Structure 1
Amino acid sequence: MLGKIFGWTSGATLGTLFTIAKRGELIGEDEFGNRYYQSRDTTSYDGRRRRWVTYNGYADASKVSPDWHGWLHYTLDEPPTVAPLARQRWELDHVPNLTGTPMAWKPQGSLAADGKRPAATGDYEAWSPE
């Protein structure tokens, strides 16, 4: 119960769940388990229906795929469940930002990468005070 009250980083809080029950209409769900909603009424200042996402797990905006991002920001009128974006053959699957996780990229020579540094080359000269 306390997790739902104070746990805004891991899913919807009680206030969000109340708003969803009162005003929200489920539009769809993506491959990460995030759920997308739209208000039943026009409550925004410009007459558009409000759109929002509840994250599955930790709240991280990079977990929203490009097609759902376009719908959330009114770039696309129809959600990806109705009119999916055409994928180009060169496009890769969407991957959330992995920075700060154990799966983050660690370049060669990084202190976080296996603890091994490449050998110094001959172009380095140590500084010494005169």
Structure 2
Amino acid sequence: MGILGKIFTWWDGATIGTLLWSSRNGEHVGTDAQGNKYYRSKSDKITTTEGYERRWVIYAGNNDASNVPGEWHGWLHHSYDGVPESHLPPPRIWEVDYTPNATGTNGAYLPQGALDRGGKRARATGDYEAWSPDA
């Protein structure tokens, strides 16, 4: 994406205005495994309506909230004050790496009978009886 794309688009990373505002008014706090960068306001004057310091994320790639790991989500929403690295338990053996949300893409899950898979579904087995208002 060229310079014009960075000026006018918001769906594929931050615009130039957001990057400039973040570098001027924000303090870089950390970066997650996907490359998303997290900031908090440098000034006490920049707060939310509830009076908390403003915290935000600059996505690496598409602006998709499902790209934010749970520990950073908690930090963004003021569940705790310290950066997530100080609150993380050791990784469990059953934890898997992040996979992006595939809804609306060719990789999306399509169950049997979905119209995009041809709309064929298994025939009823006779264990279902339709409701009737007269019964």
TM-score bracket for this pair, using the shorter chain length: 0.7 to 0.9
Match of 2:34 in 1: 32
Match of 2:43 in 1: 41
Q: Structure 2 counterpart of 1:3, which letter? A: G
Give the Cα–Cα distance (whole angstroms) in 1 for the partners of residues 112 and 24 of structure 2.
Answer: 52
State the Cα distance separating 1:17 from its structure 2 match.
1.1
Give the Cα–Cα distance (whole angstroms) in 1 for the partners of residues 94 and 113 of structure 2.
Answer: 30
1:83 equivalent in alignment to 2:109: no
Match of 1:6 in 2: 8
Give the Cα–Cα distance (whole angstroms) in 2 for the partners of residues 109 and 15 of structure 1.
Answer: 46
State the Cα distance separating 1:93 from its structure 2 match.
4.1
Q: 1:56 is paired with a residue of what secondary structure?
A: coil
* Selected match of 1:103 from 104, 107, 110: 107
Using structure 2 for the length normalisation, give the TM-score: 0.75
More moved, 98-107 vs 7-16? 98-107
State the Cα distance separating 1:29 from its structure 2 match.
1.3
Partner deviation per Cα, 1:52-105 (whole Å, 9 max, x = no partner): 00111111111111100000000021112x314225565554444321122211
Q: Structure 2 counterpart of 1:58, which letter? A: N
Give the Cα–Cα distance (whole angstroms) in 2 for the partners of residues 121 and 46 of structure 1.
Answer: 54
1:68 equivalent in alignment to 2:72: yes
- The alignment of Structure 1 onto Structure 2 pairs a total of residues equal to 123
Give ranges in structure 2 of 5+ residues lacking alignment: 129-135
What CA RMSD, in Å, does the superposition of the two structures yield over aligned residues? 2.5
Q: How many percent identity over aligned positions?
A: 47
Give the Cα–Cα distance (whole angstroms) in 2 for the partners of residues 101 and 76 of structure 1.
Answer: 35
Distance 1:48-1:116 versus aligned 2 partners, 3 A rule: closer
Match of 2:123 in 1: 120
